[in-house]
Every structure is written in C-alpha cells, then in structure tokens.
Amino acid sequence: MRSTLRALLGASYTATVIVLSACAADAPTAASGIKATDVALARAGYDQPGMHRQYGTPVKLGNGMARTYVVLDGKAGQSAVELGIALDEGALDNLPNEGTEHSLLLQLPAQSPAPYQFAELDWNPFGHDPAGVYDTPHFDFHFYAISKAEWSSIDPSDPNYAANASNVPTGAYVPPFYITPGPPAVVAVPHMGVHWVDVRSPELQNLLGNPAAYLPFTKTFIYGSWAGRYTFYEPMVTRAYLLSKPSDVVTPISTPQLYPLAGSYPTAYRVTFDAQAKEYRVALTALVSRP
C-alpha cells in the first residue's frame, strides 16, 4: 500500500478522520450483509464432498512457490465459494530483505469467477507508513477486477491520473465504515489506485484517538478504487501472523449494498495454514453472487 496512508492524520483530513473515529468504538463486530452462520459454513464447507480446489500457475517466492486457487462447489454448478493465494512452507523463507516492495503478478485459475482478472502478491520487507501501524514485514494480497492493461495505465504520467483517482465510489457502492485515508488524488498509488481503510480496524485506533481499542497489526482488509468503482480487494497479512500457522481464521468484512459489475464478491476473508498440504492460504471467501 506504500504511501496510501501517509495523509491519515494530515491537517486537511484530520477532521474527517476524527468524526469517523467516533463510530469505531461502538461499531458492530459483524459486517454488513453477512451472518455468523455464513462464516461457519464457509469454514466447514470446503472439505465436504463436492468441493474442489483448482490451482493457478505457480511462481517462485523465497524458497518455495506462490499460486492462486479457487474453491468450486460441485453441488452448485461449480460455483466459486473462495478465491485465494496459497504459499507453500518454503515461500516464507529467504524472502528479499532489502528495498521497499517486491511484487508478483499471478494468473488466476481457469474457473475463477467474474469480475476477477488477475492477482498481485506484494512482499513488504519493512512494511510501510504510517509508522507504528503497517511498518512491519507483511504481504499484500490484491485481487483485481480490472485487466492488466487497465492496471498498467494507472500511472502518474497519465493526464487523467488525478481525475480518475478523485472519481471515487459513492453512496450505496461504499462499504460502511470505509474511507479514503486522505484526498484520493494525493494518496493514489501507481499501478494500484486509491486504498480504502475501515475506521474500526484495531491497528488504526491509536491514530484515531481510541487507544483502548488498539491492537497491533496482524491482518486487515482493504478496498481499492479507480475511475469511479472498486477495482481490487485486498487482505493484508503480516509474515509473523502467517508463521503462527492459524488453523482457520475467517473474518467478516463490511460490504456495500450495490456493486458496479455482476459477479461473486467476498463477505469475509480467510487466513489459514493447511497442515496436510503444508501451505498457507489467504483468500476472499464466503463469495456471494451479486447482479
């Protein structure tokens, strides 16, 4: 996410953040549009008969490999229930320990659902700003709903760059509690877009004046927008949290009422370690079809 949060407490944006932070302490833990039973089914269901995991082409990472995957429900016409990235055990070892960000573009499996077109895995050996929040080694798992050509065109040399950044989703297209952490044209990231953060996220609470609710960053969920619509969906997870080998952590996310494109959209994200397959998985899960 690099400099996306640089303006989080900038003078021009502080008022907006402080107003929204008042919602954070009393925010419901359940996300909009998802029931606890839905998450439970997502957790238990993917090992049941009829479920099938299809992998994409592996790419070398560290001492291992990274690859995308999709879980399909054979009892529901091969509909997708989860879209993720799997890292084998060796992938977390011998990672680059210099520079700011190391990126891999990953091909999605053939039966991946709309609107997703490719994935990007970013390794941040020193994290990124703001200090004391995301400045710890972590991975960004981007799932893009735009083409690689559109992704590549998100470039500051484009005369429409600031206009496309400032053209943000509004109204019912915006998930509750999500904001841009600064003026969109200022915080836009080349070849990504504008990142949106949930003001209820525990790792942000010190910055938002709510230290009693603060917890160090381990995992979070980001929305990304460009040219008027959400274009990527991003779990962000620390290397340390993955190395703890969580057995199966499914976290509901806030979801919008409306979507710009028909397709399958997440109502939660998953972080898990499969001891039998010896791989870490981070995914968009509990996918639901939206017109």
Q: What is the pLDDT of residues 13-59, one digit of tens each?
A: 333 343 333 343 333 333 334 444 444 444 444 777 788 999 999 99
The pLDDT value given to residue 119 = 98
The pLDDT value given to residue 130 = 83
Look over the chain and give the mean of its residue pLDDT values, rounded to a whole number: 87
d(CA 254, CA 202): 15
How buried is residue 20: exposed, middle or buried, by Cβ count under 10 Å (0-12/13-18/19+)? middle
Residue 238 reports pLDDT greater than 80 = yes
What lies within 8 Å, CB to CB, of 143 at 6+ separation is: 83, 116, 119, 232, 233, 234, 284
Look up residue 200 and give its amino acid.
R
pLDDT tens digits along 149-189: 999 999 999 999 999 999 999 999 999 999 999 999 999 99
d(CA 222, CA 242): 18
The pLDDT value given to residue 47 = 72
Look up residue 190 and give its amino acid.
P
Closest CA to 83 of 59, 103, 58, 107: 107
Look up residue 62 and give its amino acid.
G
Look up residue 263 and give its amino acid.
G
- Structural Rg of the chain based on CA atoms: 18
How buried is residue 279: exposed, middle or buried, by Cβ count under 10 Å (0-12/13-18/19+)? buried
Instruction: Give me the mean pLDDT over the 97-116 stretch.
Output: 95
The pLDDT value given to residue 24 = 37
What lies within 8 Å, CB to CB, of 165 at 6+ separation is: 184, 185, 188, 193, 194, 226
The pLDDT value given to residue 103 = 96
Q: Which two tokens stand for residue 230?
A: 């959400």
